[in-house]
Structure 1
Amino acid sequence: MRWLYRLQTRVGLTGPEATAALVLLGALAAGLVAGRLRSASEPVPADLYAAADAAFAAADGGRGGAAPPAQTGAAPPAETAPANSLADAPAAQVAAAEVAAAAAPRRASKPPPAPTNLNTASAADLQRLPGIGPALAGRIVAYRETNGPFRSPDQIVEVKGIGDKTFEKLAPWLHL
């Protein structure tokens, strides 16, 4: 308790203020523990798995991944269910919920950015970059056709509509 008194004097709290701060910290800790226990004990709805399957199938683009289930919330037949299903592990349920939330489209989803070669990328490839839409991608391709290949990634600021702030967002994804 000596450390608590030293902390109280160092921070400059009176006795009642220190007591109130301890009560608030205790209530915060109790609330965090209660929330964690409640989230760990809540069952994950069956349609969550169907939504995650559909999102992964859409992201796969028909390149050979598993097809989404025909019905929302439909369980797979018993003979095809894996021995370690997600229902067996609470941590796996939480992870599946986080994956489904991340995979759920928020708006007309744009594919995630990927490293892009400025001199060979098509307009569709350029649109995957943050802040680049169809019009700006067309201007980049037109600039490249008019002025030749880019000599360095920072030369993209010469394209109308791309300034320093946009270049800062694009820089990690650009290469030649």
Structure 2
Amino acid sequence: MTIIYDFTAKTLDGKDVSLNEWRGKVLLIVNTASKCGFTPQYQGLEALHRDYAARGLAVLGFPCNQFGHQEPGDAAEIANFCSLTYDVSFPMFAKIDVNGDNAHPLYKWLKAQKPGLLGTEAIKWNFTKFLIDRTGTVVDRAAPTTKPEDMRQKIESLL
């Protein structure tokens, strides 16, 4: 049986990292974009990271260009935008697909573990959020319209 810690992903600087690095932590995994109406959520995600990292939360950002081509930049541009615009200090990964034949295996797994509304697995837009408990179980899937700060109570209950 596959578990979340079996997956690896490339960081923005091209290094392969195993999600096993975050074993035992609460994870908030988000598909992001720099030119989206929801992009200001980076601020809320960073606030969660700063407020809860010491207690065991890890926010992991996965840029995706599948929705309205709202993440057109390369890795350097994404890193620069996140750093200069939102002072992002949580891990950001290389741009991936979250839907379709080329979807990253992690996202295929996340969607199967926690389908969306009416059982649909497809990610509908940027800033869909998956909350994973310390055992690696996907406990929540939040819509792009759910603000990071609205997830505080659920996160705190898992920490």
TM category, shorter:
under 0.3
TM-score by length of 2: 0.20
TM-score by length of 1: 0.19
Structure with the larger RCO, 1 or 2 (CA within 8 Å, 6+ apart)? 2
